[in-house]
Amino acid sequence: MSNQSNIETGSSPYRTGKTYLRATRKYYHLKIFQQIATLSTSFVEVLLIGSLFFFALVFIAISSALALGELLENKALGYLLMAVLFILLAAGIYLIRKKIYAVILRKLSKSYFD
């Protein structure tokens, strides 16, 4: 028996398999596109909202430092207290970073596997 006769006798399963592989390939291309699009839009959204929030936080910190300085009658002490507050916030976030990572991973895996 030649190789050609094997392909001819099994042509229906061969075509079905080939069609399945093409469909699977198209599906994964669309899935990858969806994931990239979702990731890109989420990144831009976080970047825009995060930058606006950052600027608001900077102005709030400066005005709070000025207010503390007026209250304590020492502007340098007001800025120092705000710096200490930010250091404490950063340390607190550092301590709970694994919980934050877990939440992020859970949300990303939910998005990826849906």
C-alpha neighbours within 13 Å on the C-beta side of residue 114:
9
CA 110, 29, 24: angle at the middle one, nearest 5? 95
| Sign of the torsion angle spanned by Cα atoms 21, 22, 23, 29 | positive
pLDDT tens profile 91-100: 999 999 999 9
| Per-residue model confidence (pLDDT) at position 53 | 97
Domain count, the chain: 1
Query: What percent of the chain lies above the pLDDT cut of 90?
Result: 68
The answer to whether the CB of 96 falls within 8 A of the CB of 102 is: no
Tokens standing for residue 92: 């607190």
- According to DSSP, residue 74 is labeled -
- Spatial contact of 75 and 62, defined as CB atoms under 8 Å apart: no
Q: Higher pLDDT residue, 109 or 78?
A: 78
- Is the model's pTM score more than 0.85? no
Instruction: Report the C-alpha gap between 69 and 71 in whole angstroms.
Output: 5
Q: What's the rounded Cα separation, in Å, for the pair 36 and 42?
A: 10
Q: What is the extent of the structural domain holding 89? A: 3-113
